[in-house]
A and B are shown apart, each in its own frame.
Chain A
Amino acid sequence: MPKRTDLKKIMIIGSGPIIISQACEFDYSGTQAVKALREEGLEVVLVNSNPATIMTDPEMADRTYVEPITPEVVIEVLKAERPDAILPTLGGQTALNTALMVAETGILERLGIEMIAATPEVIRKAESRELFREAMNNIGLRVPESDICRDLPSVLAAAERIGYPVVVRPAFTLGGTGGGVAYNREDLERTAAHGLSASLTHEVMIEESVLGWKEFELEVMRDRKDNVVIICSIENLDPMGVHTGDSITVAPAQTLTDREYQVMRDASIAIMREIGVETGGSNVQFAINPADGELVVIEMNPRVSRSSALASKATGFPIAKMAAKLAIGYTLDELPNDITKETMASFEPTIDYCVVKAPRWAFEKFPGAEDVLSTAMKSVGETMAIGRTFKEALQKGLRGLEIGRAGLLGDGKDPAPERPEMTPDKLRQLITKPSSLRIFWVAQGLKQGMGVDELYKITGIDPWFLFNIKQIVEFQGELESRRPWGGLKNSLQEMDAGLMRRAKQMGFSDRQIAHALSSDEDTVRARRLELGVEHTYKLVDTCAAEFEAYTPYFYSTYETEDECRAGDKRKVMILGGGPNRIGQGIEFDYCCVHASMALREMGIESIMVNSNPETVSTDYDTSDKLYFEPLTKEDVLNIIDSEKPEGIIVQFGGQTPLNLAVPLERAGAPILGTPPDAIDRAEDRDRFVELLRLLNLRQPENGTATSVEGALAVAERIGYPVVVRPSYVLGGRAMEIVYDHDSLTRYMTTAVEASPDHPILVDKFLEDAVEVDVDAVADHEGGCVVAGIMEHIEQAGVHSGDSACVLPPHNLTPAMVKEIKEATYALARELGVLGLMNIQYAVKDGLLYLLEVNPRASRTVPFVSKATGIPWAKVATKVMMGQTLAGLGITEEVVPKHYSVKEAVFPFVRFPGVDPWLGPEMRSTGEVMGIDRDLGLAFAKSQLGAGQILPTKGTVFISVKDADKPAVAPIAAKLHRLGFDLVATTGTHAFLTKQGIDCRHVFKVSESRPHVVDAMVNGEINLVINTTEGKGPASDAYQIRRTALERGLAYCTTLAAARATADAVEALLKNDTLTVTPLQDYYAAG
């Protein structure tokens, strides 16, 4: 069946900001879909509020709306664009839910717009627990026993009937938000209350627990002729009870016979048909009782998902691209398999390697959050590794996580057995509790002699995995037994090729081997090569070598045949960012993808190296070659040895490649762009001070300390408050503002480990300064152009990644802007920047202070590119390859006529007990962009995009610290004038009343009842302005912020944000509906 001819214009909805459980995999799938549809000559309209996506690049879709993904906004876009159809299955749960809400308004019928791939009925059937259960009963499949409940009494009754433990699953939420396992009534009351409020429809399902059962997923595709194929099977290492996004997962399934696998395959196909997904990809999750093979269906997602992105990367089959083509009418047998070219997409990929996905968490960013894994997803990123054996893939995956580990064990990071926490009982506890480190504890358990049976009993991890892990542990023991003692022998020299090869085939890194033999990585590498134990590359080809593959997508292993196709074309290698984490996410992948595009435009072969399966950079057709490899020195040097690129780009992938720059350069690799020494000059505090002195630039008073005493002395000299942080970190890790000696002492003794190698930086904190972020590009002739100047909305002290900002700046004087530019040019020249740089300034009392210089691509590059319409990362790449800015026609800063506001998005709601307070340590997972000709509306859009609903009437609660009182008065007055009622706690109330602002009094939590939190819970408050600094769960401030967060109330924790919010509310009141405008129109208007 060929393409439908009645479809000419399609709307795709993206997934919005990166949040936990909805990350850049949807940019990957959306980008593939947009490309696939345009390839077919269709016009594509895109709505996505996330500026850091490739899909929102203006040349991707025809009409790109960087607007909030809400039903109201989508309806405005539909009215403006009148597409023939909406394709809702590519933007995650956000797109699906939004499309459903849009459909429910009846607008689609009125405008004659079709929903393709999944109709509203299908979405409801798959998403509503009740309808889903019915559907499964219809086809004779079992789902765990369950009851749908809408209030607490029925929840308790359901649990009585089913029996504890029970799983609480809220309907219509993402990544299991608000769900969990309840072992007793008390657990249940707490979890169910949370779940009911998290659910869009105030429904939770109380479900029979299948904890400890084996968990599997199948990725399924269907076309409109009812052809159904399975793309990939995935088996979770962690059994049921841990969210699949938090599980280490393995493809393909490992412990099923063909008979059991086929039962699951048949079930998936039956589910696809019963739910009625017309076309496209879906994901079905199953649990299997390990004792007797009983199968239950857990859930199905009628859309592409994180798992489908993983399945695409694991097999080479582009699920999203195919889903888009199937949606417009093609059938699988009509679509070619890109990788083999000669065969069609109507087949099932088969793989001849093992894939391991390992999640990465950020618990260290959220003090108060417990590192325990359950049914609600908490990981922020993931890495994927490919090996010829599970052991190899697992160890590659663990070193690819970039958490400082070089493998499963034996890398010098194992806890010493004599440490007090390593008693057998304690170790047992650590192994029993699912946590971010459990896999390492399991290895330690085996090392300490625990048996597979015992470990199986306490973890539920299938013995097959445990045996494989045991083989790694035993082999490590064998290596270690060769460790030299008393200088009597050189064990490395005695190691033969056979043993070395076995080590590599089990995935041991040179670092692990070095540690076992008391040697060092470089020596091991040299010896290994001398023994002729060299890496080989194999191809990911969808067909286990049955057909010739054309797509150069490689992984390393230690085999006899190398399929690397290094040619002698000009080629450049780009190092990606590895797994997403807070502070290093999609923004850097965006830059890497642009670097690759720029190289292609220049006719230079681009070679991408990355280990993150969620990204566009690891799509097999983004670059000329893709190496799916961990970003470690060893793995990258291997690729360099094979490919011999003329240059390596390290400045786009964030801190990961930057940290590799010096080691790679020392190993003789050609690093492109700004020399690593310039990076050192910017990051080494003493050299930085020297640099500023040379350029006559001002910085806040500061010093470095390597001890508690040193830090106290510096603080004494420059005066409190001070900002303290370790050097060489990203995302403000362990950064704090401290106001006195005691706090500083506590920080130095508990928060960081200072040493001469790792000094602590102590800076004077500029209170109430305006922070400014600048991105600039410089070429080899000394040309430098400012890409964008962003004024932060939060004052200095809030991490730049967490602060909202606006471009162009609106509070800076022209003279100050000029001063900023000149300082930027001077820094670029002096450092010899070649490519991108980012500088953070602070403006206080008319004086410009330099806070930080990063001679590399920053998180803001995509935002600036979207705001100005210039692809800065591409420009920077070309400049790094020797072109000049003048030659590229880029001579001066572009100051757009419209305002672009970037707002950060936070995962606090995922971490019960965490204070949603903004500080110098970055904690946001993603960002949105609000764009409008009116600043207030641009801010309002950014808030809407970030999920904060700004009220236009109702009651505002105000409680601010003393220092903020004078400044809050005009904001309060304005809100009052706009028709809001004001309530305030004692101090603020007294102050506002004295200023003549009409305002009611409300009790603090600590005073009496009914207090402010009661009012919030009762729905009597619509907006919260709270800048008081109480910390810890007992404080009023904490309870107010947490309640606002959980109730979905708009809240501001800084005055600047409150001011912007008031402006935004005013703008909203002036406009009945938000006007929507595509990027293409903004750029055309200049």
Chain B
Amino acid sequence: MALDALLVLEDGTAFPCRTFAGSGEVAAEVCFNTAMTGYQEAITDPSYKGQMLAMTYPLIGNYGTNPEDAESRAVQISAFLVKEYQEFPSNFRSTQSLSEYLEEAGIMGVEGLDTRALTRHLRIQGAMRGVLSTEDLDPASLAAKAQASPGLVGIDLVKEVTCPQPYRWQDGAPGPELDLNGDFDPEEMWDGGEGSYKVVCLDCGIKYNILRRLEKRGNKLIVVPASTSADTILKLQPDGVFLSNGPGDPAAVTYVVDTVKSLMGRSPIFGICLGHQMIGQALGGKTFKLKFGHRGANQPVMDLKTSKVEITSQNHGFCVDSETISDPQVVMTHLNLNDRTLEGLTHREVPVFCVQYHPEAAPGPHDADYLFDRFQDMMQSKQPLA
């Protein structure tokens, strides 16, 4: 039964809508994603923790949901905002409708919202907090609640999405949990067996498709919580360390930056999204909050080495300010062609590289998949890229 709902932003702008899943009241930052496909991947992406997500494409739910397209073990968004929910999914892989999927996760989904008006508002006014409620339909009251909500700046959301225990990733899914406390035999942890390289993935909210892409290349993977120390990671004797994407303000996750600093030069490192922001900070850079972020599957990025353009999947509200990195050995490798912001870094002397966008796609184009090959090469040569 659809309930009337109201979304009110911190500046008092109100968007009437009605539920297609769940009910209640939730406060979070409001953001929009312009991808036309991939809503299931988006809502299960841990980088959206602490955010309500609006899809700019108006028809959502068309192809239902399925177990294979989840990007983490849970629905991560705070609420889902769409123009028109499609209650009759049609796709051979669909096992559950989107509304059932959200209901099960206890997440509110609303429709009938003028998502274009919302998007324009956020584009013009910048990112904002909001409150979505079926319980309180008074705009003034909801605006006050939005203003009182914490927002994202200065908040460490990584601790809410990182895995509680280290685990091995195998056969496309999380495998057995591992105990890395105290002394352990690294060989035992990797479980022998064949594999190109041993990669430790520092989980700040990792998307499963990153693990799938790494595993596809024959690597063996151990995923560790974000708070894992550099020593513990190195004790595993990895061939490479991967730094994952994740939610919230990168400046609030200082402990990971410290870990990265310790790892640099001791193992090849590849970082994506928040991982890129960790490396950027470890290299002396600062991050800033973008006006309304990059969230979509059509962002053009130029590889400055080849000057070829790749269409990329992106999901970030913060960005590394390239001006703040003074180390002359740090090289900017990728550039966003829309707003000329930094999209990728590497170092002339240390085997480390990272990108702000999502080469693992899911959702989005596969143009940047070559970066995983680059990581393979780096693990083989142990040499810097540049």
* Residues of A bordering B, CB below 8 Å: 225-227, 229-230, 233, 252-262, 265-266, 290-293, 331-333, 342-344, 346-354, 388-390, 452, 462-464, 467-468, 538, 543-548, 559-561, 563
Q: Which one of B86, B93, B298, B309 has the highest number of Cβ atoms from chain A below 10 Å of its Cβ?
A: B309
B120 contacts the other chain (Cβ, under 8 Å)? yes
Question: 5 extra interchain contacts, Cβ-Cβ under 8 A, other than A255-B62, A348-B365?
Answer: A252-B36, A344-B300, A344-B338, A388-B58, A389-B84
Interface of B is mostly: loop
A256 with B37, Cβ < 8 A, contacts A291-B92, A352-B115, A464-B86 known:
yes
Nearest Cβ in chain B — how far from A245, in angstroms? 24
Give the complex CA separation of A350 and B38 in angstroms: 13
Name which of B196-204, B258-266, B356-364 contacts chain A.
B356-364
| Contact status B337-A390, CB under 8 Å | no
Give the complex CA separation of A293 and B90 in angstroms: 12
| Contact status B308-A227, CB under 8 Å | yes
Residues of B within 8 A of A389 (CB): 58-59, 83-84
Give the complex CA separation of A135 and B84 in angstroms: 41
| Contact status A559-B114, CB under 8 Å | yes
| Contact status B120-A346, CB under 8 Å | no
Residues of A within 8 A of B338 (CB): 342-344, 347, 547
| Contact status B84-A388, CB under 8 Å | yes
Choose among A291, A293, A347, A467 the residue that contacts B311 (Cβ–Cβ < 8 A).
Answer: A347
| Contact status B57-A257, CB under 8 Å | no
A258 with B37, Cβ < 8 A, contacts A293-B93, A352-B119 known:
yes
Residues of B within 8 A of A258 (CB): 35, 37-38, 41, 69, 297, 361-364
Choose among A259, A333, A347 the residue that contacts B298 (Cβ–Cβ < 8 A).
Answer: A347
| Contact status A560-B34, CB under 8 Å | no
B116 contacts the other chain (Cβ, under 8 Å)? yes
Residues of B within 8 A of A262 (CB): 361, 363-366
Closest to B88 in A: A467
Interface residues on B, range: 35 or more
Give the complex CA separation of A254 and B311 in angstroms: 21
Residues of B within 8 A of A350 (CB): 34-36, 56-57, 296-298
Residues of A within 8 A of B311 (CB): 229-230, 347-348
| Contact status B117-A254, CB under 8 Å | no
Residues of B within 8 A of A265 (CB): 365-366
Residues of A within 8 A of B15 (CB): 560
Choose among B58, B84, B88, B308 the residue that contacts A225 (Cβ–Cβ < 8 A).
Answer: B308
Closest to B302 in A: A333
| Contact status A293-B57, CB under 8 Å | no
| Contact status A347-B366, CB under 8 Å | no
| Contact status B119-A546, CB under 8 Å | yes
| Contact status A544-B56, CB under 8 Å | yes
| Contact status A559-B117, CB under 8 Å | yes
B299 contacts the other chain (Cβ, under 8 Å)? yes
| Contact status B58-A256, CB under 8 Å | no
| Contact status B62-A464, CB under 8 Å | yes
- Residue-wise interface mask of B (213-224) relative to A, using a CB-CB cutoff of 8 A (1 in contact, 0 not): 000000000000
Residues of B within 8 A of A544 (CB): 34, 56-57, 116, 119, 296
| Contact status B90-A226, CB under 8 Å | no
Q: Which one of B58, B119, B307, B337 has the highest number of Cβ atoms from chain A below 10 Å of its Cβ?
A: B58
A347 with B308, Cβ < 8 A, contacts A257-B63, A390-B59, A464-B86 known:
no
Nearest Cβ in chain A — how far from B279, in angstroms? 26
- Residue-wise interface mask of B (72-107) relative to A, using a CB-CB cutoff of 8 A (1 in contact, 0 not): 000000000001101111111100000000000000
| Contact status B119-A560, CB under 8 Å | no
Choose among B57, B361, B364 the residue that contacts A352 (Cβ–Cβ < 8 A).
Answer: B57
Residues of A within 8 A of B374 (CB): none
Residues of A within 8 A of B120 (CB): 545, 561, 563
7 contacts between A and B (CB under 8 A): A257-B66, A258-B38, A258-B361, A350-B56, A463-B88, A464-B89, A546-B56
Nearest Cβ in chain A — how far from B4, in angstroms? 11
Give the complex CA separation of A406 and B62 in angstroms: 27
Residues of B within 8 A of A390 (CB): 59
| Contact status B299-A347, CB under 8 Å | yes
Give the complex CA separation of A171 and B62 in angstroms: 37
Q: Which one of A259, A548, A559 has the highest number of Cβ atoms from chain B below 10 Å of its Cβ?
A: A259
| Contact status A388-B363, CB under 8 Å | no
Nearest Cβ in chain A — how far from B62, in angstroms? 5
Residues of B within 8 A of A253 (CB): 37
Choose among B114, B337, B364 the residue that contacts A344 (Cβ–Cβ < 8 A).
Answer: B337
Give the complex CA separation of A144 and B185 in angstroms: 54
| Contact status B56-A352, CB under 8 Å | yes
Give the complex CA separation of A347 and B337 in angstroms: 9
Give the complex CA separation of A292 and B91 in angstroms: 9
Nearest Cβ in chain B — how far from A616, in angstroms? 28
Nearest Cβ in chain A — how far from B353, in angstroms? 22
Residues of A within 8 A of B308 (CB): 225-227
Give the complex CA separation of A468 and B62 in angstroms: 10
Residues of A within 8 A of B366 (CB): 262, 265-266
Nearest Cβ in chain A — how far from B227, in angstroms? 32
| Contact status B93-A333, CB under 8 Å | no
B348 contacts the other chain (Cβ, under 8 Å)? no
| Contact status B59-A254, CB under 8 Å | yes
Residues of A within 8 A of B36 (CB): 233, 252, 350-351
Residues of A within 8 A of B93 (CB): 257, 293
Residues of B within 8 A of A467 (CB): 86-88, 90
Residues of A within 8 A of B302 (CB): 333
Nearest Cβ in chain B — how far from A272, in angstroms? 13
B123 contacts the other chain (Cβ, under 8 Å)? yes
Nearest Cβ in chain A — how far from B85, in angstroms? 11
In the A-B complex, the 4 residue pairs with the smallest Cβ-Cβ separation, listed nearest first, are A258-B38, A561-B117, A258-B363, A544-B56
Give the complex CA separation of A351 and B119 in angstroms: 13
Residues of A within 8 A of B88 (CB): 452, 463-464, 467
| Contact status A343-B337, CB under 8 Å | yes
Residues of A within 8 A of B66 (CB): 257
| Contact status B92-A259, CB under 8 Å | no
- Residue-wise interface mask of B (31-59) relative to A, using a CB-CB cutoff of 8 A (1 in contact, 0 not): 00011111011000000000000001111
Residues of B within 8 A of A290 (CB): 92
Closest to B62 in A: A254
Nearest Cβ in chain B — how far from A387, in angstroms? 9
| Contact status A561-B116, CB under 8 Å | yes
Q: Which of B263-321 contact A (CB under 8 A)?
A: 296-300, 302, 307-309, 311
Residues of A within 8 A of B57 (CB): 252, 350-352, 544
Give the complex CA separation of A487 and B12 in angstroms: 46
| Contact status A225-B90, CB under 8 Å | no
| Contact status A546-B92, CB under 8 Å | no
| Contact status A261-B37, CB under 8 Å | yes
Closest to A265 in B: B365
Closest to A251 in B: B36
| Contact status B361-A348, CB under 8 Å | no
Closest to A340 in B: B338
Nearest Cβ in chain B — how far from A775, in angstroms? 45
Nearest Cβ in chain A — how far from B29, in angstroms? 17
Residues of A within 8 A of B363 (CB): 258, 262
Give the complex CA separation of A390 and B365 in angstroms: 25
Residues of A within 8 A of B297 (CB): 258, 348, 350
| Contact status B114-A561, CB under 8 Å | yes
Nearest Cβ in chain A — how far from B302, in angstroms? 6
A353 with B58, Cβ < 8 A, contacts A333-B300, A343-B338 known:
yes
Residues of A within 8 A of B364 (CB): 258, 262
| Contact status B34-A543, CB under 8 Å | yes
| Contact status B362-A546, CB under 8 Å | no
| Contact status B92-A293, CB under 8 Å | yes
Q: Which of B161-219 contact A (CB under 8 A)?
A: none
Residues of B within 8 A of A464 (CB): 62-63, 86, 88-90
Nearest Cβ in chain A — how far from B335, in angstroms? 10
A225 with B38, Cβ < 8 A, contacts A257-B63, A343-B337, A464-B88 known:
no
Q: Which one of B69, B89, B90, B120 has the highest number of Cβ atoms from chain A below 10 Å of its Cβ?
A: B90
Choose among B37, B116, B117 the residue that contacts A257 (Cβ–Cβ < 8 A).
Answer: B37
